[in-house]
Structure 1
Amino acid sequence: MKVLGESVYAQLTEYITGSQNSFYRLAYSYLGNREAALDAVQNSVCKALENYQSIRNPEFLKTWFYRVLANECIAYRKKYQRDLPLEEKLVQKDFYYQKEFEAGLNLYEKVNRLPDKFKTIIILHYYEDMTLKEISEITNVNLNTVKTRLYAGIKKLQKAMKGEELL
């Protein structure tokens, strides 16, 4: 039993060191602030390393950690929501511009304005390339509910992109 625990710990540390950019990207999409995102990732890593014994099946290490990270981001935002400054966009006047970039940035801004229950699913599915089953495990929500929220979130985004509805 002890050998299994050491194996899980080794797998967890390897996974954490190899996926830091993905973790930061997810945390930043939740929090919109560099320092807050780094804090949330750091807190998630600490919690994961302290509680690795609760991993029942090493196959689900990824979903387990993403659940820890998503919960940490939500908790961080609830705790410090008023104190999180929005980062100013640093845009150079002579940067390369294509009209398509504007649409992508606009969509990302609209995704970030969605309620958490839609935003989490859309970010994990489209930005982190996770399956709906993995998202169900991460969010601890029924698979059919994940599907419903994904499609409802997409509809909200479509309306928002057409200017029909404010999120």
Structure 2
Amino acid sequence: MELEELVSDAIKGDDGAFVSLMQACKTDLYKTAYAYLRNEADAIEAVQETTCRAYQSIQTLQHPEYAKTWLIRIMINVCQTELQKRKKVTVHPFLEDERSVDHQHSTIETTEALESLSPKERELIHLKYIQDLTIRQVAEVLEMPEGTVKTKLYQSLSRLKRWFEKGDDQHVSK
């Protein structure tokens, strides 16, 4: 069954179609959540929260062809809410979860490069290159004109390029 058919059926109240829709989109939703929250358990919880919110409001989706974009927008909102909650809670540095030290050098470098970008720039890069959305879909998710998306994406990629062109010793300062 086509994704649009599943969405149409889900909008009409078919719970099985809704479950199938979520199954079809779960990998992209998880990747989005993990990119924001950087923790497997939190990402899974965000997928669950997104599923709940989507189920409660599926009837509000007016264009079935934009279902994936709609779900990703819900996921981004869930993640941003979670990140806002985290800012309000102070965690003692010795109690924070340790990250695996076995990351490859290039992965660490890429993570540092992405961290040098603003959250909005990281969001753009993630949607375009990780989620593989079109410029039009990114514009819809972020609710901005396509031209603005192109400009901001170009600027973000230019900043990443400059970051990688610098020597390792200069990466410490952002």
TM-score range, shorter chain: 0.7 to 0.9
Q: CA offsets, 1:20-55, max 9 Å, x none?
A: 222111111111122221222211111011000110
Partner of 2:27: 21
Q: CA offsets, 1:126-153, max 9 Å, x none?
A: 1111101001111111111111111111
Partner of 2:102: 91
Cα contact 1:43–1:72 (8 A) shared by 2: yes
Higher RCO (Cα < 8 Å, 6 or more apart): 1
Give the alignment partner of residue 110 of structure 1, picking from 100, 113, 116: 113
Q: CA 1:88–1:57 in 2, change beyond 3 Å: closer, same or farther?
A: same
Aligned partner letter, 1:160: W
Q: CA RMSD in A?
A: 2.7
Distance 2:19 2:161 in 1: 39
Q: CA offsets, 1:54-93, max 9 Å, x none?
A: 100111101111111111111111112346845511529x
Identify unmatched segments of 5+ residues in structure 1: 93-100
Distance 1:155 1:128 in 2: 20
TM-score after normalising by structure 2: 0.77
Identity within the alignment, %: 25
Question: Shift of residue 5 of structure 1?
Answer: 2.8
Question: Shift of residue 102 of structure 1?
Answer: 3.1
Identify unmatched segments of 5+ residues in structure 2: 1-7
Q: Kindly indicate whether residue 84 of structure 2 is the aligned counterpart of residue 73 of structure 1.
A: no
